Structure 1
């Protein structure tokens, strides 16, 4: 999935003198407070971290409260979705007007009817709402389906994404992986053009725990290496 990256960072964490006897715990607590929040300095949402304390002796800062700074070398796993990226998530709610998705267990996305390509038809089967492909009967999207979709916009403050199922490379991941070839290498310009054509056509018709994060970072690195 796009939008995930690993970054190396040199940080300074400022701690109160009362934390001097438990520096490592205090540092982890400070970093944990930044998890699953958009951080402008990092340029994304912090998902995981692995730190190495560089200073053996902290530097006392002058002021009313003599905080001390500890230098760190950190390995960060970031989530930075941008327009035209492909993301993956689980459908948690579906209606004729929209599809609601959860990404990585914390960020939400909505795909409204005008951003769902005409290939998909809304229907109810056995009291279950779903979108079924008119071209491929096995290509179905319903609650619980893992889907791949295109990012149209990302609200950094509330971590909410507006998505699109216009490109042919989007839909049920299970079906796409079985039937599509080289989806990850699709032509961006062609995708944008297709998206615009669909929009114009429609206008006419109106119609996890912090201490385990090092494992997540290593797994992501291995995945990136295997993909390259």
Structure 2
């Protein structure tokens, strides 16, 4: 899935003197406060971390309430979705005008009716709501289905994603895994045919131009012969 990245970071943790005997625990507590929040410095939501303390001896900062300054090296797993990236999520709710999804267990995403391609139509089957493809009977989206969708925008404050199911490479992950090659092959064929038809029209235009040019040459030759006679 796109939108995930690992970042190396040099950090500084400020530890209260009362935690001087438990510095590692205090550092981990500080890092834990970063989890599942968007961080502008790292341009993403911190999902996990792996940290190493660089200084064996912490430095004490002067002041009314002195703190220990501990330098760290960390690897951070970040979630940073950008427009047009492909994400995956589990469907938790369906309505006639929207599909609601949870991504990575914490971020919500929604596809409204204008962002659901016309191939899918909403219906109720055996009391269960679903979006079913008009062209592929087994391509069905319902509650519990894991889908792939394209990112339109990401609200960093509430960690909410506006998504789209318009691209042909989006939909049910299970169905796409089995049939995406066929869909891509069909798209390539249609593109190739379009290019070939364009090439044919160019060839025809050139042949017509050549025949017209030949006629003009023959006409000019006839005129030249008459003038000489």
Q: Same fold (TM over 0.5)?
A: yes
1:105 aligns with 2:80: no
**What are the ranges of 5 or more consecutive residues in structure 2 without an aligned counterpart?**
185-229
Tell me what 2:62 maps to. 62
Give the structure-2-normalised TM-score. Answer: 0.79
Asked if residue 28 in structure 1 is aligned to residue 23 in structure 2, the reply is no
SS in 2 for 1:47: strand
Give, in whole Å, the separation in 2 of the partners of 1:137 and 1:182: 15
> Deviations along 1:127-172, whole A, 9 cap, x unmatched?
1110000010000000000000000000000000000000000000
| Distance in 2 of aligned mates of 1:165 and 1:102 | 15
- Corresponding position of 2:194: none
Aligned to 1:127: 127
2:88 is matched with 88
What TM-score, normalized by structure 1, do the two folds share?
A: 0.79
Ranges in structure 1 where 5+ consecutive residues have no aligned partner: 185-228
The answer for the alignment partner of 1:6 in structure 2 is 6
Match of 2:163 in 1: 163
User: Is the partner of 1:35 in helix, strand or coil?
Assistant: coil
State the distance in 2 between where 1:97 and 1:150 align: 18
Q: CA deviation at 1:42?
A: 1.2
Distance 1:182 1:48 in 2: 37
- 183 and 57 in structure 1: CA distance in 2 versus 1, 3 angstrom threshold: farther
Q: CA RMSD in A?
A: 1.6
> 1:181: how far off?
2.5
Change over 3 Å in CA distance of 1:48–1:164 after alignment to 2: same
Count residues in correspondence. Answer: 185
Residue by residue over 1:59-81, the C-alpha shift from the partner in whole angstroms, topping out at 9 and shown as x without a partner, is 11122210111000101100000
Distance in 1 (alpha carbons) for counterparts of 2:32 and 2:178: 39
CA distances 1:198-223 after superposition (whole Å, capped 9, x unpaired): xxxxxxxxxxxxxxxxxxxxxxxxxx
Q: Rg: which structure is higher?
A: 2
With over 3 angstroms needed to count, the CA separation of the structure-2 counterparts of 1:182 and 1:7, relative to structure 1, is farther
Partner Cα separation in structure 1 for residue 66 and residue 83 of structure 2: 44
Counterpart CA distance in 1 for 2:161 and 2:183 is: 21
Cα distance in 1, alignment partners of residues 79 and 133 from structure 2:
31
Runs of 4+ in 1 over 3 A off after TM superposition: none
1:179 counterpart residue number: 179
Structure number with higher relative contact order (C-alpha < 8 Å, ≥ 6 residues apart): 1
Distance 1:30 1:119 in 2: 48
